[in-house]
Structure 1
Amino acid sequence: MILSDEKGTIRFGLLTIFILVGVFGGWAAFAPLKSGAVAVGKVSVINDKKVVQHLEGGVVDEIYVKDGYKVKEGDILLKMRNSKLQAELNASQTDYLQNSVLEARLIAQRDNEEQIKFSDELKKLKGFKRASEAQISIFNEQRKILSDEKEILNQRISQLYKQIDGLNAIISSRKLRVESLDEETKEWDRLYKEQLSDKIRLRDLKREKIAIDGEIASNTAEIARLNVQITETKSQMILRESAFKEDVLKQLESVTKSINTLRSKYIALNDQLARTEVRAPVSGTIVGMTAHTVGGVIRPGDPIMYIVPDSTEYIVEARMNLTDIDKVTIGLLSDVRFSAFELQQAHVVEGEVVYISADSLQDGNGHQFYEIKVKLTDKGVKELENNKFFLLPGMPAEVMVQTSNRTVLSYILNPFTNMFKRAFNED
């Protein structure tokens, strides 16, 4: 009985072993097993990241972002200290305003305008009211001075004309007296010839006529002198206006040059002040910040940070061993692992080989490799988005390129198969 039981147990054990071997063999013969070539690399971008720089450099006043921050185009990233620049801009604006309102006043005086015309640009500037009121006061004062001077000269001319009118009236009356004397002289001359009178009266009449003729000549000369004075007074008025216009034009030429210089300086300072607010050139993610401290100094043109645009496509640049490159071709799917992510479901995403270097490369240590580039497929990108993970340039990644599919049994037997192939080859 004991022997029979032992045989039964042995048979049962052997049957169990045969069943297990059969099941395992069947599974090994048909169970798929992925084989692949492993490469290590890092995340890179297809589109170049945008560098953020500052033209003039300076001292950091405020920082609003850090590495990994998402920003939109135009967002303020940091501010540079601008107190000195603001003071220069205020001084430049004041000079520009003063010269501009002066120019407006000179233009009005040049064109004989009744009031100054100020542009809308000037009216918006700080301090315009005070500056414009000062120029309006000067304009009105000089206008009154010129008007008073012209009035005085016009009055003098009017007086001279009145004197001429008076002298002409005297001359007219004297000429009438001369005509009367001529008739009276003829009458007395006839009486004298008829010996009815002596020459005394005749001589008196002639002497009176001579005196009146002299008076007429003197008054005529005085009229000529007064006309000369009128001409001189009119010339004086013209010269005064010309001198004033000449002075206005000289001032206008000078102030226009100053305004052009000040406008260029004002625009340059205003642009420079605007640049103290460092803004994002594109929407994207902040990486590679070098400015971390308020009060730190940034040199002109040095990179402050980089922005990876939102539209950027990511790839993995990896180094493949020389012994595995013969199995890798463009278009093969790959499993990409990102060790930076902590959640297990986000470790592996699908990618596709899109580039293989034409020849082997060598690093600084003399190690040779082939460079491959793996782009995430739509499925892989969706997996990252579903888990709310975002790639950043420089993240470490491991790539396993799926070179072929085989069974577990072929994987186990492969070393023996290769050994037998080498054993039956003749030298």
Structure 2
Amino acid sequence: MSATPLSVSDAVEVDAIDRQAGRLIALGGWTIVVIVGGMLLWLLYAPLAGAAYGSGMVRVDTQRKTVQHRDGGIVKTILVREGQHVTAGATLVELEDVRLDASADALEGQLAAEQLKASRLAAERLLASSWAPPADIVARGRKEPRLAAAIAQEVALFKARRARLDGQIALTRKQMDDVKVQLAAREREFASASQALALMDEEIAANQRLLEQNYVNKVRVVTLQRSAAEYRMRIDDNRAETAKAAQTLSDLELRLASVGDGTVQEASNDLRDTQARIVEIEERLRAARDATDHKLIVAPVSGRVIDLKVTTPGSALGPRDPVLDIVPDDAPLIVETRLPVDAVQHLRTGQQADVRLTAVKLRAARTFIGEVVYVSADALEDRRTGAPYYLAHVKLDRAALDEAGVELRPGMAAEVFVRTRERTAFDYLSEPFTAAMHRAFRE
């Protein structure tokens, strides 16, 4: 069979098809060249950011405050719960100790009794005619029978001592009044005797002149002189009795003054001793109250309660046993992460890190940019697995967190990508081969 010859039009059409096919082949070839070349250029020159990956957790930048108790004891009341916010000085847990409570109560009773006595002695020192116990002690006495009995005893003692003092004063004044009456009588007797003696002297003088003229006998004159001598003796006796009564009055005045002075001195001495006992009891009570106050476990700082270890009233708490931890309000939060040891050559403070908070549910996946603020100086070892790692702290941008409405809480899980040096894709692909060849040549 012979081939059918092509017409001129068919030949032209075939030639056009051949040229079109050639152009398509050329275009495809150039396209492949461009793609392959672009890929080669991308592999060789396009920088890719490296990253060291580690899982982490949000923690307090500074150490959280662990609350302990010095002596321990039996848990009486738990006043906080996990996650609760507390202020500095707030009571967290109350312990109980019957011996301390009894000792403090006994000392408080002794102190109140001594203060009551001191108040009574202070009134006696001022020679007060009346005394009322302090109002605060009276108020306590309504609830404490022993203190009420002490109040009644002190009131009765004050009244008895005041009555004794008043009796002594009244008796002395009565004696003074009697002596004054005697003095007044002596003065009247002295005046009467003096007047009689003066008249007697005048009569003696007149009779003496008559005797010289022999108008009277001598017996008359001698009789008058004897009577005058008796008056003088009575006047001298009166003067002696008056002096004696005056001395008695002076002694009574001194006794009256000494009655008050003695009471003041006795009250002052007793008050000094009582005040010394008050100081001693206050020191003992201060120590007892200090021990009692230690039964109250209070918050050292304001913050949030975490890791509450005491949950049951009546449980025993040993000395220095941790009770709970408090995350301070002003403590900055960071993301603590463990990074592989082979990334240490690329780690340094100030590097950027991408952090994704896995515990936060956002509408869209959100990565927050942070800054590496700490890298451990040496590799650490996981106590459970024994795997080595480097510890790093990443600080997040507070403004970005606020914009996203995210509130950091200690314990939140996170994924951390610490950006390392930039390398090309070719470097990533060739690194295993170059490393293998390097080891092979060394072997």
Is 1:399 equivalent to 2:416 in the alignment?
yes
Residue type at the aligned position of 1:400: F
Aligned-partner Cα distance in 1 for 2:216–2:138: 99
Partner of 2:255: 236
Aligned-partner Cα distance in 1 for 2:203–2:340: 150
Deviation at 1:49, TM superposition (A): 1.4
Deviation at 1:397, TM superposition (A): 5.7
Is 1:127 equivalent to 2:141 in the alignment?
yes
Please say if residues 379 and 388 of structure 2, whose CA atoms lie closer than 8 Å, have aligned partners that are also in contact.
Answer: yes
Please say if residues 384 and 390 of structure 1, whose CA atoms lie closer than 8 Å, have aligned partners that are also in contact.
Answer: no
- Counterpart of 1:53 (choices 36, 52, 68) is 68
Partner of 1:63: 78
Aligned-partner Cα distance in 1 for 2:90–2:59: 25
Deviation at 1:307, TM superposition (A): 0.6
- Counterpart of 2:196 (choices 159, 167, 177) is 177
Report the CA distance shift for 1:165/1:419 in structure 2 as closer, same or farther (over 3 A). closer
Farther-moved stretch of structure 1 (162-171 vs 290-299): 290-299
Aligned-partner Cα distance in 1 for 2:435–2:205: 174
- Structure possessing the higher radius of gyration over alpha carbons: 2
Farther-moved stretch of structure 1 (157-166 vs 80-89): 80-89
The 3-state SS of whatever aligns with 2:350 is coil
Report the CA distance shift for 1:115/1:300 in structure 2 as closer, same or farther (over 3 A). farther
Cα deviation, 1:311-369, whole Å, max 9, x if unaligned, reads 22233444443432223343333344667x49697897543222234555667798655
Deviation at 1:272, TM superposition (A): 4.4
Deviation at 1:93, TM superposition (A): 2.7
Aligned-partner Cα distance in 2 for 1:198–1:241: 66
Cα deviation, 1:73-104, whole Å, max 9, x if unaligned, reads 34432111155444433333332222223222
- Counterpart of 1:218 (choices 237, 259, 264) is 237
Aligned-partner Cα distance in 2 for 1:197–1:422: 177
The 3-state SS of whatever aligns with 2:226 is helix
Residue type at the aligned position of 2:73: G
Aligned-partner Cα distance in 2 for 1:108–1:88: 31
Query: Which residues of structure 2 form unaligned runs of 5+?
Result: 1-27
Aligned-partner Cα distance in 2 for 1:231–1:414: 128
Aligned-partner Cα distance in 2 for 1:411–1:219: 143
Residue type at the aligned position of 2:269: K
Is 1:372 equivalent to 2:392 in the alignment?
yes
Deviation at 1:207, TM superposition (A): 2.2
Report the CA distance shift for 1:132/1:318 in structure 2 as closer, same or farther (over 3 A). same
Deviation at 1:302, TM superposition (A): 3.8
Query: Which residues of structure 1 form unaligned runs of 5+?
Result: 1-14
The 5-angstrom pairing of residues 2-13 of structure 1 reads none
Please say if residues 336 and 348 of structure 1, whose CA atoms lie closer than 8 Å, have aligned partners that are also in contact.
Answer: yes
Aligned-partner Cα distance in 2 for 1:419–1:91: 83
Partner of 1:92: 107
Please say if residues 69 and 285 of structure 1, whose CA atoms lie closer than 8 Å, have aligned partners that are also in contact.
Answer: yes
Is 1:158 equivalent to 2:173 in the alignment?
no
Partner of 2:264: 245
Report the CA distance shift for 1:410/1:64 in structure 2 as closer, same or farther (over 3 A). farther
Deviation at 1:187, TM superposition (A): 3.1
- Counterpart of 1:192 (choices 211, 215, 219) is 211
Aligned-partner Cα distance in 2 for 1:201–1:50: 125
Aligned-partner Cα distance in 2 for 1:156–1:420: 130
* Structure 1 vs Structure 2 CA RMSD: 4.3
Please say if residues 112 and 137 of structure 2, whose CA atoms lie closer than 8 Å, have aligned partners that are also in contact.
Answer: no
Name the % identity: 26
Deviation at 1:151, TM superposition (A): 2.4
Aligned-partner Cα distance in 2 for 1:186–1:206: 10
Partner of 1:38: 53
Deviation at 1:109, TM superposition (A): 2.6
Partner of 1:255: 274
Aligned-partner Cα distance in 1 for 2:263–2:49: 99
Deviation at 1:233, TM superposition (A): 1.5
Aligned-partner Cα distance in 2 for 1:73–1:103: 39
The 3-state SS of whatever aligns with 2:67 is strand
Report the CA distance shift for 1:414/1:236 in structure 2 as closer, same or farther (over 3 A). same
Please say if residues 53 and 339 of structure 2, whose CA atoms lie closer than 8 Å, have aligned partners that are also in contact.
Answer: yes
Report the CA distance shift for 1:124/1:160 in structure 2 as closer, same or farther (over 3 A). closer
Deviation at 1:400, TM superposition (A): 2.8
Please say if residues 37 and 401 of structure 1, whose CA atoms lie closer than 8 Å, have aligned partners that are also in contact.
Answer: yes
Deviation at 1:247, TM superposition (A): 0.7
The 3-state SS of whatever aligns with 2:342 is coil
Deviation at 1:142, TM superposition (A): 3.2
Is 1:279 equivalent to 2:293 in the alignment?
no
Cα deviation, 1:267-300, whole Å, max 9, x if unaligned, reads 4444544443322222222234343332223344
The 3-state SS of whatever aligns with 1:241 is helix
- Counterpart of 2:308 (choices 272, 286, 289) is 289
Q: Normalised by the size of structure 1, how large is the TM-score?
A: 0.76
- Counterpart of 1:315 (choices 305, 321, 334) is 334
Please say if residues 191 and 197 of structure 1, whose CA atoms lie closer than 8 Å, have aligned partners that are also in contact.
Answer: yes
Report the CA distance shift for 1:178/1:353 in structure 2 as closer, same or farther (over 3 A). closer
Aligned-partner Cα distance in 1 for 2:117–2:137: 14
Residue type at the aligned position of 1:79: E
- Counterpart of 1:103 (choices 87, 110, 118) is 118
How many equivalent pairs are there?
403
